[in-house]
Amino acid sequence: MEKEDPLMRLEREERERKAKGGSLKPVMAVLAIVALGLAGALAYVTISKNSLVKDLEIDKQQLTEQIVSLQGDYESLSSEYDSVNSQLDSSREEVAQLVERIKKTEATNRAKMRQYEKELGTLRSIMRGYVKQIDSLNTLNKKLTVQAANARREAAEAGRKNAELTEQVNDLSSKVAVGSILKARSLSLVAYASNGKATDRSSRTTQMVFNLTLAENELAPTGPVRIYLRVKDPDGNLLLDGTGASFTLGGDAVPATASREIDYNGKDVDVSIYVNDTGAFVKGIYSAEAYTAAGKLGQAEALLR
Q: What is the three-state SS of 210-258?
A: EEEEECCCCCCCCEEEEEEEEEECCCCCECCCCCCCEEEECCEEEECCE
Average pLDDT over residues 286-292: 95
The answer as to whether 15 is a domain residue is no
The answer as to whether 23 is a domain residue is no
The answer as to whether 105 is a domain residue is yes
Q: pLDDT digit string (tens) for 192-243?
A: 999 999 999 999 999 999 999 999 998 888 999 999 999 999 999 999 988 8
Q: pLDDT digit string (tens) for 250-288?
A: 888 999 999 999 999 989 999 999 998 888 899 999 999
What pLDDT does residue 290 have? 95
Alpha helices by DSSP H, 176-215: none
- Indicate whether 155 and 202 sit together in one domain: no
SS3 content of the chain, % helix, strand, coil (to 5): 50, 25, 25
- Indicate whether 89 and 37 sit together in one domain: yes
- Indicate whether 208 and 287 sit together in one domain: yes
Whether residue 111 is predicted with pLDDT greater than 60 in this model: the reply is yes
The answer as to whether 42 is a domain residue is yes
Count of structural domains, the chain: 2
- Indicate whether 160 and 93 sit together in one domain: yes
What pLDDT does residue 176 have? 44
How far CA 184 is from CA of 168, 217, 273, in Å, comes to 21, 10, 14
For residue 192, give every residue at least 6 positions away whose Cβ sits within 8 Å of its Cβ, in sequence order, or none: 198, 199, 205, 206, 207, 208, 209
Q: Which of 4-13, 19-28, 121-130, 172-181 has the highest mean pLDDT?
A: 121-130
Domain end, chosen from 175, 200, 222, is at 175
The answer as to whether 17 is a domain residue is no
Whether residue 40 is predicted with pLDDT greater than 50 in this model: the reply is yes
- Indicate whether 164 and 203 sit together in one domain: no
